[in-house]
Structures are given as C-alpha cells and as structure tokens.
Chain A
Amino acid sequence: KAGVTQTPRYLIKTRGQQVTLSCSPISGHRSVSWYQQTPGQGLQFLFEYFSETQRNKGNFPGRFSGRQFSNSRSEMNVSTLELGDSALYLCASSFTGTGISEAFFGQGTRLTVV
C-alpha cells in the first residue's frame, strides 16, 4: 500500500510569490491534515479536510488556504509569501479523521522563502 505522497519535496520561492503544495493520501483515507513545522514553533496545525470540506482550521492567516478533491488529494496554497513561511510542511492522512483514526505523515515539503 503506497504511503502519503507530498510534492514537491523541496521548493525555493521569493517573498511575495505564491506556492501550491500537493498531498496524495493513502488509498481509502478521506481525511487530510496539514501542518507547518519550524524549529521554534514545533508542529502547528493548519487545517484538516474531510470529504472535500474543511472541517478544522488552525490559527493561521488567510494567506494559507487549502482544498481537497473528490479523490481525497489535497492542495495547500500560500499567497504573498513571507520569510517566516520558510518551514517544513507536512500532510497527514487518516481513514475517518476521527480522534481514534491514526494519522500517517508524508515526507513533507521543505519550503524556503528568500
């Protein structure tokens, strides 16, 4: 069974640009969550999608948005990039998205904003 696939693995962008990251969950999983991980802030929850609907949202500005497609693949978009957006972005998929359904992480996308 294939794991969670995130693309691209590495990305370098300039301040002010926008970026789109992609996440393909494990087959059959309907919930996709996105996290930002930085050395100073740990793993911060961005949002969670379940059956194409955003079900949970963390405390990030509106520049961070996402969506989920009918095949459960998800994309995350960051507009007007800032230097502070440099981080490892992780997505995690789970079967039902309930608290009892364990989540599995992709390898992450390392975003560097210069």
Chain B
Amino acid sequence: QKEVEQNSGPLSVPEGAIASLNCTYSDRGSQSFFWYRQYSGKSPELIMFIYSNGDKEDGRFTAQLNKASQYVSLLIRDSQPSDSATYLCAGGTNAGKSTFGDGTTLTVKP
C-alpha cells in the first residue's frame, strides 16, 4: 500500500462544475498536507496546504482534512479549462519528509 493514495482518475468535469480530488494517507506521523498542481512539462506548483482538521478556503479552492479518517480532499469550484492539470497530494512529517501521491489528472471541458 502506498503511503499516499489518490483517486486514480483521470477526472473530467464540464466548465463551471465542481471538481473533487481525494487523497488518503497511511502515515499517522504526517502533520500537514499539500496540494500541488502540475501542468504537462512543468514542475509542481503549490496550491494550498492544510494542517488542521476542517476546511480551508482560498478563492475557488477548498482543502479539507480529516485526520481521524486519514483523508484529504481538494474541491475546485467553477472549474475552468485552465485548471486542467495533474494534481498531486503530499503528506509531510515534522521531520521534513514529504510523500507524494501519484496524482490525479483533471480535464475541464469547455
């Protein structure tokens, strides 16, 4: 079992819809979680991080964390074609180690 698992995708949503990306983790030592967006041929770009249970909102993006269920999610509201990318979930420990999931590829269709 991988330490960080993401829904395999690919995920396709129409423009304006809500895209839901999910991630589970097995290392209870993970204290904080990160969502990165990676466009094809580019390096990952940090979108959001979260370390407290609950929701964290930033514009059209909402990250959700449930430590009891070891579950992290990212919601993208009003999805745009420019949101089409691979989204990587990562868990980080206080010892400096970050573990990434394999990513979920999102396509937003106009």
Contact = CB atoms under 8 A, between A and B. Distances in A.
Interface of A: 31, 33, 35, 42-43, 45, 48, 50, 55-56, 90, 92, 94, 96-100, 102-108
A100 B97 contact: no
Nearest to A45: B99
Contacts, number: 71
Contact of A99 (B44, B92, B101): B92
B49 interface: yes
The contact size tier of chain B is 20 to 34
B103 A42 contact: yes
6 contacts: A31-B96, A33-B96, A45-B100, A55-B95, A99-B94, A105-B36
A50 B43 contact: no
B49 A43 contact: no
Interface stretch (B27-35, B57-65, B69-77): B27-35
Interface of B: 30-32, 34, 36, 42-46, 49, 51, 88, 91-103
Nearest to B30: A99
A42 B51 contact: no
A6 to B, nearest CB: 9
Most buried by B among A43, A48, A107: A43
Contact of B44 (A50, A97, A105): A105
Contacts of B43: 90, 105-108
